Amino acid sequence: MTSGLWELVLEGIWVTVQLLVLSALLATVVSFVVGVARTHRLWIVRFLAGFYTEVFRGTSALIMIFWVFFVLPPAFGWQLVPMWAGTLALGLTYGAYGAEIVRGALTAVDPAQREGGIALSFTPWQRMRLILLPQAVPEMIPPFSNLLIELLKGTALVSVMGMGDLAFSGNLVRLALQESAEIYTYILLIYFVIAFLLTRVMRGLERQLKAGVGKAPRKTVPAQARVSDGAGAVKVGGGA
C-alpha cells in the first residue's frame, strides 16, 4: 500500500472518530432525558418516552440513516451536512437503547432511598439529582461501555451513504488496488484497537465513579451475557 492510500485510511479514522464522539454525546443526552422521563410521575410523559424508545429500538439504524439522508430533506426542507445527518441518526437510535440503561439503573436503586428523600422533603427533581442519579450512574457504566462499542460499529453504516469514514476508505483502497484481503484486515484491526481503547477508558471511568460512592468496582460481567435480564441485552440491531 502506498502512503497516499494510507492517507485515505487516516482521514477515514478521523471521520469515524468525529462521528463517534458527536453521536455518543447526542446519544448520552437522549439516554438521560428519555430514561429519566420514563420514571416520571405523569403517565403521559412516561408514555411518550416509552413510545420513543419502542420506535427507535424497533427500527434498524441503517434504515434510520437512509431516512435522515433521503426522507428528511424533501419532507422538511432540511439538507443536513452528512456529518450531522449521521450524528442525528446514530444518536437518536443508540440514545433509545441508552434510555433503557438509564431507566434500568434508576429503577434498580433501592426504593428506600426515594423514601429517605421524601422524608427529608426533597422535591422529585432534588431526589433525582442528589440521590438517585449519583447512585445509578456508576451502575450504568458497564452497559454504556458495551453500547459505546456497538455505536462504534454502527458508525461504519454511514459509509453506505458515501461518507468518507474508516469503512468507506477501505472500499476506496480496494478499488484502487483491486485487492481486498489486506486492506479489510487492516480496517478490522483498526476498529478493534479503537474498541479496545474505548473499553479501557470506560473501565477507568467506572473505577473512578465507584470510588466516589464508597464502593469497590465489581468484576465486570458483560451485560450481554446476563441471561436473567434477557430483555436488557445491549446488542443493538442495525449497528454492525
Partner 1 sequence: MTDPGSHTNPPVDGSELIRFDHVTKRFGSNTVLDGLDFSVDAGKHVTLIGPSGSGKTTILRLLMTLMKPDEGTITVAGDQLFPASEKQVREVRKKIGMVFQQFNLFPNMNVLRNITEAPVTVLGMSKDEAEQRARELLDLVGLADKCDAYPTQLSGGQQQRVAIARALAMRPQVLLLDEVTSALDPELVAGVLDVLRDIARTTDITMLCVTHEMNFARDISDQVLMFDSGHVIESGPPEKIFGDPEHERTREFLGAVL
Partner 2 sequence: MQWDWGAVADFMPHFWDGLLVTLQALALGSVISFVLGLVWALLMRTPSRFVRWPVGAVTEFIRNTPLLVQLFFLFYVLPEWNITFSALTTGVVAIGLHYSTYTMQVYRAGIDAVPVGQWEAATALNLPLRRTWTAVILPQAVRRVVPALGNYVIAMLKDTPLLMAITVLDMLGEARLFSQQNFQFTEPLTVIGVAFILISYLASVLLRGLERRLVR
Which range binds partner 2 by CB under 8 A, 55-63, 78-86, 109-117, 211-219?
55-63
Question: According to the binding rule CB under 8 A, does residue 237 interact with partner 2?
Answer: yes
Question: According to the binding rule CB under 8 A, does residue 177 interact with partner 2?
Answer: no
Residue type, 132: L
Residue partners of 5: CB distance under 8 A and separation at least 6: 173, 176, 177
Q: How many residues bind partner 1 (CB under 8 A)?
A: 20
Task: Look up residue 51 and give its three cell numbers.
Answer: 413510545
The single residue listed with the C-alpha cell 430514561 is 35
Question: According to the binding rule CB under 8 A, does residue 119 interact with partner 2?
Answer: no
101 contact, one of partner 2, partner 1, none, CB 5-8 Å limit per kind: none
Residue selected from 25, 71, 108, 130 as contacting partner 2 according to rule CB under 8 A: 71
Which range binds partner 1 by CB under 8 A, 59-67, 129-137, 143-151, 190-198?
129-137
Q: Are 11 and 78 in contact (CB under 8 A)?
A: no
Residue partners of 13: CB distance under 8 A and separation at least 6: 166, 169, 190
Cα–Cα distance for residue pair 108/96, rounded to 1 Å = 19
Residue selected from 73, 162, 204, 212 as contacting partner 1 according to rule CB under 8 A: 212
188 contact, one of partner 2, partner 1, none, CB 5-8 Å limit per kind: partner 2
82 contact, one of partner 1, partner 2, none, CB 5-8 Å limit per kind: none
Question: According to the binding rule CB under 8 A, does residue 219 interact with partner 2?
Answer: no
CB of 195 to partner 2, least distance (A): 4
Residue partners of 14: CB distance under 8 A and separation at least 6: none
Residue selected from 159, 173, 202, 206 as contacting partner 2 according to rule CB under 8 A: 159
Nearest residue (CB) to partner 1, 126 versus 180: 126
Q: Which 8-state DSSP code applies to residue 222?
A: P
Residue selected from 44, 81, 119, 225 as contacting partner 1 according to rule CB under 8 A: 119
Q: Can you say how many angstroms the Cα of residue 175 is from the centroid of all Cα atoms in its chain?
A: 31
Task: Look up residue 3 and give its three cell numbers.
Answer: 502512503
115: number of Cβ within 10 Å: 11
Task: Look up residue 11 and give its three cell numbers.
Answer: 482521514
Nearest residue (CB) to partner 2, 54 versus 115: 54
User: Nearest to residue 239, comparing CAs of 20, 84, 79?
Assistant: 20
Residue numbers at the binding site for partner 1 (CB under 8 A) = 110, 112-113, 115-116, 118-123, 126, 130-131, 134-135, 212-215
